[in-house]
């Protein structure tokens, strides 16, 4: 997970998020098996308007694991507070609840949620405040010297996003080996996944 700064919501979403969220909530409450589908705006689904904006904030990387390159056919928009959870129906179109996430992170997260989950766009988020990177196992670990609340939040984030799943630790190892084998003058971090590995 790598910090990014969230840009302001697009005007059309800011103006319609409340109404669209209420419409979705009403449909779900009337029929719990109702499946979410994006509203249409100017002739195309809302997600097609906002996905490029979300990806731009993370430099086309997954907001959660920092996977790159992002593939539009596989990756979708994640509702941080899950749209399938009755508590969060009204947030289905709220800009600050929407993240660009890779397909793998979303498969792991699904509708799981914990109030302790860290947001990579939080003003006070810093990778090294909560985590340490284990270069032997290529795993993300909770900082042993963090305060108990930060440790709890870090542990919940690792668990719910599956940040140490086998495929991911292998991919980070490959990225690290590629990085250390390159001429430093030729390295552009935007072309790498898992950029938190290379930053202090």
Contacts of 141 (CB under 8 A, 6+ apart): 131, 132, 133, 134
Q: Which helix (H) or strand (E) holds 133?
A: strand 131-134
| Bridge partners for 142 per DSSP | 131
Distance CA 190, CA 199 (A): 12
pLDDT tens digits along 78-111: 999 999 999 999 999 999 999 999 989 999 999 9
Q: How many CA atoms lie within 13 A of 131 on its CB side?
A: 28
- How many other CB atoms sit within 10 Å of the CB of residue 47? 14
Q: Which residues of the chain have pLDDT under 50?
A: none
pLDDT in the model for residue 69: 74
The CA-based diameter of the chain, rounded to the nearest angstrom, is: 60
- What is the domain partition of the chain in residue ranges? 11-198
pLDDT tens digits along 151-166: 999 999 999 999 999 8
pLDDT in the model for residue 133: 96
Q: Which of helix, strand or coil describes residue 100? A: strand
- The reported pTM is 0.92
DSSP structural state of residue 142: E
């Amino acid at each position: 997970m790598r910090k990014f700064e969230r840009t302001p919501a697009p005007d059309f979403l800011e103006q319609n998020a409340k109404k669209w969220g209420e419409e979705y909530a009403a449909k779900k409450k009337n029929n719990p098996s109702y499946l979410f589908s994006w509203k249409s705006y100017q002739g195309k689904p809302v997600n097609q308007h906002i996905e490029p904006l979300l990806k731009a904030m993370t430099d086309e990387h997954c907001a959660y694991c920092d996977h790159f390159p992002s593939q539009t056919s596989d990756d979708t928009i994640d509702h941080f507070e899950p749209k399938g959870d009755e508590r969060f129906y009204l947030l289905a179109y709220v800009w600050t609840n929407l993240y660009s996430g890779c397909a793998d992170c979303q498969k792991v997260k699904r509708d799981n949620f914990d109030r302790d989950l860290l947001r990579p766009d939080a003003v006070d988020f810093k990778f090294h405040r909560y985590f340490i990177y284990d270069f032997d196992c290529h795993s993300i670990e909770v900082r042993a010297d963090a305060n108990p609340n930060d440790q709890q939040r870090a542990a919940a984030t690792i668990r719910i996003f599956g940040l140490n799943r086998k495929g991911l630790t292998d991919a980070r190892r490959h990225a690290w080996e590629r990085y250390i084998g390159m001429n430093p003058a030729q390295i552009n971090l935007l072309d790498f996944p898992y950029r938190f590995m290379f930053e202090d």
